[in-house]
Amino acid sequence: MGPGDPAFNMALDETLLHAASRRGQPVLRFYSWTEPAASFGYFQKYAQVERMTALRPLVRRPTGGGLVPHDADWTYSLAFPPNHAWYSLSATESYRRVHEWLQAAFARLGLNTELAPAALKAQAGQCFQGHERFDLLLGGRKIAGAAQRRTRDGLLIQGSVQPPPSVPRNAWQEAMLAVASPTYGVGWENLQPEAWLTEHAQELARRKYSQASYNQRR
């Protein structure tokens, strides 16, 4: 699928979460944006978030975490069904593992990154100001963070990467797929979304993620 508008991007991720149990297989989605935007965590207060960035629109994510600018980043999501081993991991272990995956992908591309050993707080509520434990760092600066939501239907991880200089996006995506196969025993297949899945995401975007009543509810 091509670039999505902010409401549809969040709606499709939520739809993949709700469909995870039904599908029975994990889904890795790489995606981009039709316009500059910012997403913010499910539990954040809109009045505080709107003062943190000039980017508009602002869209509330189905996951937690802080404010993330989507004017130049690479975004991805992972949806795991309840019967997958990843689903049973603690939130901390899941967070560490997804960034180890990114670390291995960048190593394949010749970049030496590291997992943050501890949190370094800067401006509260902004994902890329300072860092949390197990965030991915390059030269001491955070380049990748993620947020999670676990339900009875599955586990959703939404991640953002600040692109390192001179690394093409397609090379990073290919590296992510390549290192996962031997590490996690993954056999990749292209996802062809069923009509009902896309239609549900479009409806969810229309009645929820594009509505001020949802995005400004806190």
Q: Which residues contact 97 (CB under 8 A, 6 or more apart)?
A: 86, 89
Q: What is the Cα 175 distance to its own chain's centre? A: 17
Going through the chain in order, the beta strands assigned E by DSSP cover: 27-31, 38-40, 58-60, 68-69, 74-80, 114-115, 120-121, 130-131, 136-138, 141-150, 155-161
Residue 79's CB is within 10 A of a number of other CB atoms, namely: 26
**Token reading at 202:** 């479009």
- Among this protein's residues, is 150 annotated catalytic? no
- Cα–Cα nearest to 172, from 69, 120, 102, 79: 102
Report the C-alpha gap between 122 and 162 in whole angstroms.
Answer: 17
Q: Which residue out of 7, 19, 67, 127 is catalytically annotated?
A: 127
Grouping H, G, I as helix, E, B as strand and the rest as coil, residue 96 is helix
Catalytic residue list = 127
